[in-house]
Structure 1
Amino acid sequence: MAAGHAGYLEILRAKHAVRLLVGTLVGRLPNAVAPIAIVLFVRAEGGTYSLAGALAAVYGVANAIGQPVLGRLVDLYGQPRVQLPAVVASALATAVFAFAGTDPLPLACAAVVAAGLFTPPLEGGLRALWPSVLSREDQVHTAYAMDAVAQEVMFTVGPLLVTLCVSLWSAQAALLVLNAVGVLGALSVVVSPPSRAWRSAPREAHWLGALRSPGLLALLATFLFVGIAMGSIAVAAVSYADDHGGDAVYGWLMAALGLGALVGGMVYGARSWPGVPERRLRVLVALLAVCYLPLASMPGVVAMTALAALAGVFLAPCIACAFVIVDRHAPRGTVTEAFSWLVTTFSVGASVGTGLAGPVVQAGGALWGFAVPSAAGAVSLLVLLATGRVLAAPAVGAVVAASSENDPNRAAEPRFSSGDRA
């Protein structure tokens, strides 16, 4: 474990690594807090919960569409030429929404759509940059785990920042301030030397882009159901909390999930794992599904909080392992798009899980609500088992690293082959 911690420090000491990691996390803050920020703002404007939920959903759909589209453009034209105008457009659209409010409604909808659609694909962009910043493939894989852990921190801290801004100023100020901070984070990444120098590997022209890879499609199908599990847990936890103490209990359960993922990701990334990542992902997804099962026992609050932490332990390792598999299966020259598709699929799955768990909880209570994530986890494992042969054959010509025009270490071919064992 000490060697693993040394590995984390080794990554953080790499030139530009801290700037890229922190800048990406801060730059993604507006996207992470958008649903709750939109809901609070609409309610402050006198809108109904139905309208607030609808606008938050509109943002989510627009974001799900925009990420892979912008990711493909990044692969074609480079990061600054796409990410910079995208972040400015998204921030301006958010400002229009914040100042115009919900009346007229068509303008509010158009602003929310634009804000989601032009959210820059910083997450996929960072994963494309790691191989040009780090010198060894094992460091890249550790960076993926560290990235997954950092996301858990962001999605835990983000909502707290929104509520803090609302309490100190207003819901409108929360939208404006957090988006301004996000722009600064994105700019820090986009104008950095690695981002400006990065170029995607040459690609074969194909209208499907990254989606022409059967292995990537199998991975996306798997993470659709992992997303469903995560979305459904949030709804079931609300129902449990209503009967065991209210909002404070719900906060503890969500914090425990995040803490479990944080610990699991740190432990997973602290060592090197033998064997191919596809086989490892099957084990991790199976453990994820099994750890959801005890939630249906619905014990007291203290025990339930501990079970929630256990349920989160294998999430970050699953995500980190998936990043490595994306590298192995993304067709050459589509790495940013491929990572963006993973983000989109997981987000869509979470939205589906939220929508699915609502009627289930309404009909059968929290008990049946907690059965949904276990079922979704089991289906994701079945998808992995059914597509084992497809996943066992990495894409021909897929690469982890893309070339950098100004990189003094640049060679004719990328430094890492996606077919290498993880």
Structure 2
Amino acid sequence: MTDTLSRRVPARDVWRLAVPALGVLAAEPLYVLVDTAVVGHLGALPLAGLALGGTLLSLVSTQLTFLSYGTTARTARLHGAGRRADAVGEGVQATWLALAVGVVVLAAGQLLAGPVARAMSGDAAVAEATVSWLRIALCGTPMILVTMAGNGWMRGVQDAVRPLRYVLAGNALSAALCPVLVYPVGWGLEGSAVANVVAQTVSAGFFLRALVREGSLRAPDTAVMWAQLRLGRDLVLRSLAFQACFLSATTVAARTSTEAVGAHQVVWQLWIFLSLVLDSVAIAAQSLVGAALGAKDSPRARGIAAQIVRYGVVLGCALGVLFALAFPVLPQLFTSDAGVLAAVPHAWWFFVALQPVAGLVFALDGVLLGAGDATFLRNATLSSAVLGYLPLIWMSLALGWGLSGIWTGLTLFMVLRLVFVLVRWRSGRWAVVGAVRDHAG
């Protein structure tokens, strides 16, 4: 244990990766807020179209995050082994894969946008607005995925600053362009979609230019891309488990009462925001643990893992205390509805109590993702969802448990995940050394 603790990295090495990663993670939600504020002044119908279209686009991109997380895991190992050219080459193949998947998603999206929007909205006017926005915004899908791949390989070679610059540059330009296209140019809701595509194209262009400057451009390598897809398979299934849980929670809250779904939305959006904060530490873990394993230094990987775990717990405890103290004031910033405010405590104290647990779970997720242990994470997440979250959510609807039942389900989900990742971490079976890890199983 003493040897493991002695192999830690300086704290500044963790935070120089975590802080820019937080900026990248926060950039998209902040841009969505700007977009919403601009379109919101057009009226309720365009805003509804943006809300539904944005949700569908976000759902697609969320399912394909393996292009960033999986690429980081594979690239970090090669970087740690001293094979920078091969590490960047991994980024090249991830970029080819991003373009191929992006074209498929774009084509499928154009065909399915209408039927899906009509099925989800139940209102012809809202569906029409959704489709008009979504079909334009989908044109940026290949660039969204290129940006994910770019974030992945740059994090893998421990360059976290350039991705932040690239993403902020695209989003800043788009934030300035959006109100111009919506109002003076007169494109309305469609102007918002065009600005979205511009943001993704500019950011992706920077990542593509970075690959050219690295001098590592290579033709598509199907063997490498298939290996990335095998890792991606596990991460996609894991993401689907998350989506099934979170959509079920919102559905049950909506069927409980208007006040319940409003209160759930307030607390849930705060949960999502704090998840970004905790996930930034996990991203640092991915890069540092992967590099240590690539260098065949298992004690260093274990030392970094223990260090990241402590940071996650401390950060989670601090956030829990902060939001416990903020309870008398913070919910009122989101709503003045007396019924919603009365329902908030039924979720709030679960949210506060879960922060230390989330800090530890997210930290260990980052460690295991950095090790490429995606198959285990897939199984742990699916098991936690099936055994914990989903049964309690739907029992809450049947038995009238309301928000307390929904958030009890989330608590059980997090506790089960905690048990799984703690056991895995303590076993040491994740610490497979070498420049490449076989993900076939």
Normalised to the residue count of structure 2, the TM-score between the two structures is 0.47
Structure with the bigger RCO (C-alpha within 8 Å, sep 6+) is 1
Normalised to the residue count of structure 1, the TM-score between the two structures is 0.48
Tell me which structure has the larger Cα radius of gyration. Answer: 2
More helix by share: 2
